Structures are given as C-alpha cells and as structure tokens.
Structure 1
Amino acid sequence: MTDSSRQPRVLVTGASRGIGRATMRYLADKGYQTIGLARSIPADARADEQFIACDLMDLDGTRALVSDLAAQAPFYGLVNNAALAHTTDLAHTSVADMNEAMALNVNACLVCMQALLPGMRQARAGRVVNISSRAALGKPNRTAYSATKAAVIGMSRTWALELATDQITVNVIAPGPVATELFKTASPPGAPQTE
C-alpha cells in the first residue's frame, strides 16, 4: 500500500462528474492523492479518492476550506474544472447570469489558486490546469459562458508569467464538445442549438 503522506496532493474542483470525475479517477490511478470539491459526493467514490462537499459559488467558504486543506499539507497540483453554462441568447442574458458565471467559472479558480499558492511557492513546485472551452472563441447562446471561459485563458496566461520563476506551471485545456452531463443539459440531442 502506498504511503498517502508521500503522494503529491492534487485538488480538483467540479470533481463529482464529467471531466472533473474522469480527472479524479485518472490522477488517483497514477498515484496522486486526489481531493475533489463538488456540490455532492459521487456514489462511486473509491477509497483512494477524497471528496468534500463544497459550494464553490460561496467564495468566502471556499477560500476558508481550501486554506484549511493547504494548512494540513501543501498541494502539488490544482485542476480548476467546475463551471456552469447559461444557454440564453444575447437578448435574454442578464447581468445576474454574467455575475453567476463569473463567480464560479473565474473567481472560484482565483480563490482556490490563492489558497494553494503559498505552499507551492515554498515547495518551488506546482502544476495548475485550468479548464476553459472552445466556446471561448464564441458560441451562440453562450454569452456568459464564452466570456468567462475567455477570461480563464487570459487569467491563466498571466499566472504562467507570474509563477514561472517559482517553478509553477499554469496551463489551459479548452475542450470542444464532450458528452458530459453539463453538455447534455446545455445542448440536448435534437435541439436547434446542438451542433
């Protein structure tokens, strides 16, 4: 059995389903100590995967939780995956939609990174992967989602420049359509907006 205290720790947000769930499983299989944040804990969670129920829209609560986790032991990695996608056209996109998408898709990434940053800097090692989307280039009926996913790209480039001297790398993955629960909800089969 592997000594979990020696395994590099990786935090994954939005870890209970879709890309986040697959990421948790992959990292655990590779020997990382994975800790997943999500609104709910999946029924198929394994013993080598730790899940913590967390509302990432509560930025103060998220900061406190992640800071507490980082105080227990430093993290080697962070995968910012949690997201929401409003599917309204331009005329019906509200400022509330924009603010909600910004809170989860961008600000939660910032809060998690800031909480883990001191430990990564002290270790002079860290790997950060922020999940954006092809929709950052534009997609009909995705004003809030596209705007925030473009923000993730710009934010990540800035972090990469700032953190390179600390031996912390920051990368973005911008997948196209993946048949996750979020995608199927936003783009149901047969719907006009589904490409």
Structure 2
Amino acid sequence: MQLGLQDKVAIVTGSGRGIGAATARALAAEGARIVVTDIDADTATAGCAALQRDGFSAIGVAADVTKAADVEHLMQAAVAAFGSVHVLVNNAGFARDARITRMSEADWDAVVDTVLKGAFLCSKAVVPVMAAQHWGRIVNISSRAHLGNPGQANYSAAKAGILGFSAALALELGRDQITVNTIAPGFIETDGVRNLPHYQKIKDNAIARTPIGRLGAPCDIASAAAFLASEAAGYITGAVLHVTGGRYAT
C-alpha cells in the first residue's frame, strides 16, 4: 500500500531508540525525510546515522522538548534541511514509577513535562508551517496507562492528558487540513523494557493478560503511526487507536 509519504518531512521526537526509532524507520521506508531528535546528542546522531546507512534521508538534532528554545531550534533545523515539516510524531516520554507517597515532585514534573509540555511546544511550533501548506499530520503517542496503572500516577496522568490535548487540537486544526490522532500502545518490548528489574515476571504477567498472547514490538506502533501520518488517513482525526493486543484493564 502506497501511503503517499514520499518526500514528506517528518519529525519524530525521542527517535534515537525504541518506539521512536522504529517509527522514524517506518516513515523513512515510505519515502519520508526524517528529523531524528533526542535529548542526548549522541543518541540523535546514532539514530540518524543508522537511517543514513540504509539509504534513507535523515538529519539528527539534539533537543529537550520541554524547552521552547530547543524546540524552535529543532524546527529551524528541519526547515533548513528539508524545506518544510509535514508530519510530527510526539513520542518523547519515559516513566519514573513510584507509589504516590514516595513519588518526588521532581519525578512528577519530569514525566508530565516531557510528555505533555513537550507535545504542546512541538505542536505549537509546527502548526504554522502545516497550516501554511494546508496539510499536516500530528500523531501523539499516549499509552494504555491512560486507563491508570498503580505506581504510575505521573505517567498515567500525562498519557491521559495526551488524549484530551489531541482531541482539542483535532477540533481546532481540522480547517487547516491538519489531522491529530493518538496511539495508545500496550506493553511494548523495547530494550528499556528488557532491562527492567524482574523483566521476565513482568513479561509473563503482561502476556497472560493480553488476548493476542504476546508482547507488542516497536514495529507494531510504528506501522500504526505511519498509517495515521499518511494520505490514506486523511479523513481520520481526533481518534485514539489502542495498539495493545486487546489488553485494556491492568
């Protein structure tokens, strides 16, 4: 299926590794030119180099998505390299888990700011470019955790906030032919997940609760993101796509 992404320009935040890297690669395979970005410069450079080695068009830009100046630099770098931006995937985020009585204010702020403020700043920066060309796709990465996970009050709150943020933007930006959709991944087996304490126990528990009977892979999310970013999804906006293998409750 041709997704109509040839020569489109896509920024994927947090794309040096994991779901972000898989999404960047999926978009590149459809012909998009990719802006790989990560808070760590070496990670962004390595992610970009991996795409370039396989013949894809990409640049790497270090950016902290919680800082407006970094986001502005990211946008300027994208436009300078490729002339425009057509697709934004707000993927940057992480978990810092603790029960509420042991959760520090710093860990609350770090998670909520990266997920929510990062999506806000990046979307705010990219919308004028998309509106001017009357074409744009914003894909926000939430999580099944928006339904609530014990020990993840910060992460669950941030990921639930992404749903409301996306719904508001979908209503606001439709007249400019900018679609805004959300993906809510289930338990995805990334390198970070494999390094978790008690990984095997967590994995077995997740599989037992998942009707499909396996963990998700980064490519499962990447494929969904590529579709929502495409011409084929031009009449879809304000939607939440759960890519969870059928798992919803904790």
Please confirm whether the aligned pair reaches a TM-score higher than 0.5, indicating the same fold.
Answer: yes
1:157 & 1:188 partners in 2: Cα distance? 36
In structure 2, runs of 5+ residues without a counterpart are 1-5, 207-250
- How far apart are residue 175 of structure 1 and its match? 0.5
From 47, 62, 76, give the equivalent of 1:68: 76
CA distance in 2, matches of 1:10, 1:192: 34
Bigger Cα displacement from structure 2, 60-69 vs 29-38: 60-69
- In structure 2, distance between residues paired with 1:187 and 1:14: 23
**CA RMSD between the two structures:** 2.1
Instruction: Report the Cα distance in structure 2 between the residues aligned to 1:119 and 1:71, rounded to whole angstroms.
Output: 9
1:36-185 equivalences under 5 Å are: 36-38=36-38, 39=40, 40-41=43-44, 42=46, 45-47=50-52, 48=56, 49-57=58-66, 59-69=67-77, 71-72=79-80, 73-185=83-195
Matches within 5 A, 1:3-18: 7-18=7-18
SS of the equivalent of 1:128 reads strand
**What letter matches 1:113 in structure 2?**
S
CA distance in 2, matches of 1:67, 1:104: 17
- Structure 2 residue identity aligned to 1:46: L
- Note the residue ranges of structure 1 that are not aligned, 5 or more in a row: 1-5
What one-letter code is carried by the residue in structure 1 that aligns with 2:109?
N
Q: Is the 8 A contact 1:62 1:112 kept in 2?
A: no
Counterpart Cα distance in 1 of 2:193 and 2:146: 15
Counterpart CA distance in 2 for 1:188 and 1:50 is 37
What corresponds to 1:3 in structure 2? none
The separation in 2 between residues aligned to 1:116 and 1:24, in whole angstroms, is 17
After superposition, the Cα gap between the structure-2 partners of 1:84 and 1:36, relative to the gap in structure 1 and judged at 3 Å, is same
Q: Residues 127-171 of structure 1, C-alpha deviation per residue, up to 9 Å, x if partnerless?
A: 110000000101111111000000111100000010011100000
Partner of 1:34: 34
Where 1:84 maps in the other structure, the secondary structure is coil
The TM-score, its normalising length taken from structure 1, stands at 0.88
